[in-house]
Amino acid sequence: MLFLKLILTNLLRHRVRTLIGIAGIAFSVAAMLTVVTILQGAIGMFERILSNDSEFIVFERNVSDLFFSNVPGDAVDQIASWSMVQHAHPVLFGIVSSPDHPIITCFGVNAGDARIHDTEWLAGRRDDFAKNPRGVALGERAAEFLKARVGSEVPIGRETFPVVGVLKTANGFEDGGVFMPLAAAQHFFHKEGVSSVATVKLKSKEDKAAFKRAVEEKFPNLIALENEEFSRSYSQFRILKATAWAVGCCGLLLGGLGVANTMIMSVFTRIREIAILRVNGFSGAQIAGIIFGESALVSAAGALAGLLLGASVIATLQFVPMLHGYVDAHVQPVVLLAVMALACLTGLAGAFYPAIYAIRIRAVDALRFE
Amino acid sequence: MSFRPSNDDQVLRATGVWKSYDNQTVTVLSGVDFHASGGETIALCGPSGCGKSTLLHLLGGLDEPDRGEIFVNHQPLAGNGGGLSLLRHEVGFVFQLHHLIPDLTLEENCLIPTLAAGVSRRAARDRLGQLAEKTGLAHRLNHRIQKLSGGERQRTALCRALMNQPRILLADEPTGALDERTRSQVFQLLLELVATEGVTLVMATHDRALAELCQRTVVMKDGKVYES
């Protein structure tokens, strides 16, 4: 209890300084949490696009980006005909532009694709997508920013396409995207006869290994990965995740420097007090314990405040129309733990030098000259 | 009053101790020999800068001599990792300035040495209760240091120094910052406490009158010790 009071006393004695230290950690944690969660959410959305009613993704081996992948149509047809496969759908990804909107994600899909078949249609009819070879369905947000509705025409690139439906999806990419019949998309992107990926669902999960082997044997230029496997190995995701954590760590590093500054000032302004403790038998470890204790409290308070702040920012971002569907407010426990652990480690690292300095204070000098 | 202890009774002994500062350009102690026996009260007298405080710091393990040896309870201080253990169990310090932590209460300040030594909270409180009674501070235990008078602060420092029942009390001008009346009261209390606790007192002082109340007076001059 007294030990805790020795820790708290100094924090309460210099409240503004303590609050600045807490704020440094809080903003760092909030920034890290927000950046990581948004990017994880974006990656998660992309994963869901790929894994919509499927468990395997088949794409061209050794491509750096799925936009550059070419899966031949006959390969998709053959895979779909295998007895172990329930269904295989080709999906062509592309980026299209329209006036005022230079980047719109385009999905070239068949009418039987779950994105068309199982999604809620806010306007238009599913059948029209199958019937009209150039008819596009728009995500709700895309319809909004393109000011389009069923029956109108939307300019995409140098062409215009009739709108046959408006879809409601919970996915930001899809919500702001254009769904085009596969053949039309292949023509538009000059990729006749190919798709970016094939999404595959098996009849039995026990056939996973057999399916992967079969793809490898029959189509050496293609690779089949389970959705989770794909997420782990896809270089774009890895780069994004690494970037998110790197940005977050930089933020925490700044927060850590704030804590280090707070703790150094804490030691400098209580040299005599530390000397008194030494004269009364406090060991170096006990002195270090006080410094690390102060730092741990600042870090813990900062981390908690940062979590609240970050959660508030994420919750608020969900209501920003432009970001609708892009932000997944669900913070993964592993992210939460990692952020907390990093915050605590940063705090402790920030206290390291001040603790060493405090241990080295010679009581006899401090008392003589104070 | 005379006191002639035998060598076996010596709780504190310094032999040929040298100490200098500023890259050995200022020599403070030049081969000091000193001893103190159990229960003895010794006044260290001498002009300012003669090395009284330095000798106390060396005897208490707060500093190390350049040369010479110091023994506490017949154990050499050097190389014994002794400083810390000494401060926890064998030696208590009282300074001219009370050196209490202002944000803590009287009780909390006094419990600091017991926290360092790992004494149980209950035992520490019992011990503080006894000392507070003896020093007349029992009614002030929960008061912050800022609320105490100068005499009370110095009595608190005395309580703190005796909390772990040390065998030796080193006091550096313990009444130097007090007015004449309070000085006399605090010093009488100090003598009573060391007598009842059986503590050896080594006290640096300028005050000849106070020094005469001790059993032995040691005069320091030019870094050397002379028995008076």
| Phi (first) and psi of residue A61, to 5 degrees | -65, 145
Q: How far apart are CA A325 and CA A141, in angstroms?
A: 10
> How far A293 CA lies from chain B's nearest CA (Å)?
16
Q: What is the reported pLDDT for A349?
A: 85
Residue B41 pLDDT exceeds 90? yes
- Which residue in chain A is spatially nearest to B112 when comparing CA positions? A280
Residue A232 pLDDT exceeds 80? no
Report DSSP state, residue A164.
E
Q: What is the reported pLDDT for A32?
A: 84
Q: Does the distance separating the beta carbons of B99 and A5 come in below 8 Å? A: no
Q: Which of A24, A23, A21 is nearest to A294 (CA)?
A: A21
Pairing type for strands B41-45 and B200-204 reads parallel
Q: Mutating which of B57, B97, B159 best tests the A interface, going by the most A Cβ atoms within 10 A?
A: B57
Q: Does the distance separating the beta carbons of A280 and B160 come in below 8 Å? A: yes
Map residue B95 onto helix, strand or coil: coil
Length of chain B in residues, anyone? 228
Residue A266 pLDDT exceeds 50? yes
Q: Does the distance separating the beta carbons of A9 and B62 come in below 8 Å? A: no
Which residue is associated with the tokens 């003669």? B50
Q: Does the distance separating the beta carbons of A364 and B63 come in below 8 Å? A: yes
Q: Which of B91, B189, B176 is nearest to A280 (CA)?
A: B91
The verdict on B113 touching A (C-beta cutoff 8 Å) is: yes
Q: Which of B128, B138, B87, B90 is nearest to A2 (CA)?
A: B128
Q: How confident is the model at residue B16 (pLDDT cuts 50, 70, 90)?
A: very high
Contact of A302 with B130, CB cutoff 8 Å: no
- The type of residue at A140 is E
Q: Which of A35, A37, A43, A38 is nearest to A227 (CA)?
A: A43
Q: What is the reported pLDDT for B186?
A: 84
- Residue A67 burial (CB count, 10 A): 13
Q: What is the reported pLDDT for B2?
A: 38
Map residue B35 onto helix, strand or coil: strand
Q: What is the reported pLDDT for A209?
A: 92
User: Which range has the worst mean pLDDT, A50-54, A352-356, B43-47?
Assistant: A50-54
Q: What is the reported pLDDT for B26?
A: 86
How far, in Å, are A78, A133, A328, A329, A337 from residue A307 at the CA level?
50, 49, 15, 13, 11
User: For all residues of chain A together, what is the average pLDDT?
Assistant: 86
Cα dihedral across residues B174, B178, B182, B184: positive or negative:
positive
Residue A247 pLDDT exceeds 70? yes
Q: How confident is the model at residue B193 (pLDDT cuts 50, 70, 90)?
A: confident
Residue A236 pLDDT exceeds 80? no
Q: How far apart are CA A282 and CA B112, in angstroms?
A: 8
Pairing type for strands B10-21 and B26-37 reads antiparallel
- Residue A228 burial (CB count, 10 A): 11
Map residue A84 onto helix, strand or coil: coil
Q: Which of A292, A316, A240 is nearest to A30 (CA)?
A: A316
Q: How confident is the model at residue A200 (pLDDT cuts 50, 70, 90)?
A: very high
> How far A22 CA lies from chain B's nearest CA (Å)?
22
Average pLDDT over residues A353-358: 90
Q: How confident is the model at residue A368 (pLDDT cuts 50, 70, 90)?
A: low
Residue pLDDT, tens place only, B106-162: 999 999 999 989 899 999 999 999 999 988 889 999 999 988 988 899 999 999 999
Where do the H-state alpha helices sit in chain A? 2-13, 15-51, 73-81, 114-117, 126-131, 140-145, 172-175, 182-188, 208-218, 227-233, 235-268, 271-279, 284-317, 333-360, 363-369
The verdict on B141 touching A (C-beta cutoff 8 Å) is: no
User: For all residues of chain B together, what is the average pLDDT?
Assistant: 86
Average pLDDT over residues A274-295: 90
Between A235-268 and A284-317, two packed helices, what is the crossing angle to 10 degrees?
130
Q: How confident is the model at residue B18 (pLDDT cuts 50, 70, 90)?
A: very high
Q: How confident is the model at residue A326 (pLDDT cuts 50, 70, 90)?
A: low
| Phi (first) and psi of residue A83, to 5 degrees | -65, -30
Q: What is the reported pLDDT for A111?
A: 85
Q: Does the distance separating the beta carbons of A280 and B113 come in below 8 Å? A: yes
Buried b (16+ CB within 10 A) or exposed e, B169-182: bbbbbbbbebeeeb
Residue pLDDT, tens place only, A74-119: 999 999 999 999 999 999 999 887 777 777 889 999 888 877 877 8
Residue pLDDT, tens place only, B66-113: 999 999 888 888 765 556 666 677 889 998 888 899 889 999 999 999
Residue B1 pLDDT exceeds 60? no
Q: Does the distance separating the beta carbons of A281 and B117 come in below 8 Å? A: yes
Contact of A202 with A357, CB cutoff 8 Å: no
The verdict on B187 touching A (C-beta cutoff 8 Å) is: no
Q: What is the reported pLDDT for B144?
A: 92
What is the distance, to the nearest Å, from the Cα of residue A58 to the centroid of all Cα atoms in its chain? 23
